[in-house]
Structure 1
């Protein structure tokens, strides 16, 4: 199994994980939540699986980015646009997480906590790694085309 295939499978699994995380987060929200329901940020009583903050907006963000990340697993060999875009999106989310945890007092609108910070950061790094095989694949195609025409 090649490195490209392993990275594509990893990116696909990450996309599925984010979708499962979002759906589980939606399922755990109720009118009885103390802080995490609605558009307000969550705190310790409103953690999913004892780790991740839960609220509606973060659930939508996780579902959207998870679905796009899953699609990225299938397009990573053909284009650097999707992996680059998704790495950028998770990078922006990581920076938001960092600023939120360091500077925002009180509840955060996205219910960000340290586990979310690590999850988004690691995901951004993995998606950056998908750019390397895509770049090699495009370089290989150009080399093959130049050999054919020359």
Structure 2
């Protein structure tokens, strides 16, 4: 099964996956990929532009390969704001779309404590699209200690 986990930054998408995925499952998370491709001391979030570009290419390759094995393993994919084209692709693959959102106030508090100003803009964009009905049903998520 393919699980596409969406939601604003700092919503708890990774925590949702950690609570469900097994060691045998595939987890495709751009933050994890970027950390794997960068050296010691690289930030957990707010990645360098070049590292982000390299990680994005690796993510695309991981998605392409992982979907070939859906009959053998579950694949958990974090995609904060999938476009209509990506959502259509996920639907063709029979994905379950899960939106993790503990609420805008909680998300903004978390982002202010640990993320860059750029992430504040992503939060605004995510909620603007959600309010327009472009997002999927919302799942409340109690997450790790922030």
Determine which structure has the larger helix proportion and give its number: 1
- Give TM-score, length-normalised by structure 2: 0.31
Task: Determine which structure has more spread, i.e. the larger CA radius of gyration.
Answer: 1
- Give TM-score, length-normalised by structure 1: 0.31
Determine which structure has the larger strand proportion and give its number: 2
